[in-house]
Homo-oligomer: A and B are copies of this chain.
Amino acid sequence: MFTEYLNILNKISPLSSESKLLLLDYLAIKKIKKGDYILEHNKICKHIYFVNEGFVRIFYYKNGKDITEWFSNKNQFFFSITSYFDEIPSNLIIEASEDSEIIFLSKKGLGKLMKSNLEIANLFIELLSGSLIFSQKRIESIQFETAKQRYFNLIKVQPAILNKMSLQHISSFLGITQETLSRIRSNI
């Protein structure tokens, strides 16, 4: 059930069968229906999530408006960074944009294992450095690129997103209004 997942972890940082066995205790898999939440508003994020199947949208409310922060495809990890580490209520909401299957890796378990198991500590280091690079590239993209450039980059890198997300979600993700995005589109 978790073999494929453990193989993916193993590729990120090598794990012995013993380490894999230890991790198994702290894994869970859940089917989430389209529109249902994986992480609700103001709940504390106690897992690192993984999209085994489906598509997930991460968003927040700003002045009552739904702003898309990010989305995750099959085989991607995601979690609410500030809620997870600081153990504070999450201002991010995570929902399944389509029927999905999500693997939950518990913070408690991971925290315990990494104190005693070198392989798992190094796995966590790889996961964290991956997130950190990702986070940094996000900042650079916001700072270096205009909304127009980011839109063209999005349709180049993840064209599938265009069919899965509405104009409103794409524009809020890009940090512009839907009218402006509509005008960018018509000016091609």
CB-defined contacts of A158 to chain B, threshold 8 Å = none
Tell me the A125-171 residues at the B interface (CB within 8 Å). 125, 128-129, 131-133, 135-140, 142-144
Q: A5: CB under 8 A from chain B?
A: no
CB-defined contacts of A184 to chain B, threshold 8 Å = none
CB-defined contacts of A86 to chain B, threshold 8 Å = 133
CB–CB A132/B85 < 8 A: yes
A113, chain B: closest CB distance, angstroms: 11
Give bound CA distance, A34 to B122, whole Å: 38
CB–CB A175/B121 < 8 A: no
A-B contact pairs, 21 of them (CB 8 A): A67-B143, A69-B143, A81-B136, A82-B136, A82-B140, A85-B132, A85-B133, A86-B133, A114-B121, A114-B122, A121-B122, A121-B125, A131-B132, A132-B132, A132-B135, A135-B135, A135-B136, A135-B139, A138-B139, A139-B139, A139-B142
CB-defined contacts of A140 to chain B, threshold 8 Å = 82
Q: Which residue of B lies closest to A142 (CB)?
A: B142
Q: A118: CB under 8 A from chain B?
A: yes
Choose among B62, B135, B143 the residue that contacts A144 (Cβ–Cβ < 8 A).
Answer: B62
Give bound CA distance, A132 to B131, whole Å: 7
For the complex of A and B, the 6 pairs showing the least CB-CB separation, nearest first, are A121-B121, A128-B128, A135-B135, A81-B136, A132-B132, A85-B133
Q: Which residue of B lies closest to A82 (CB)?
A: B136
A82, chain B: closest CB distance, angstroms: 6
Identify the interface centre among A67, A69, A128, A132: most chain B CB within 10 Å of its CB. A132
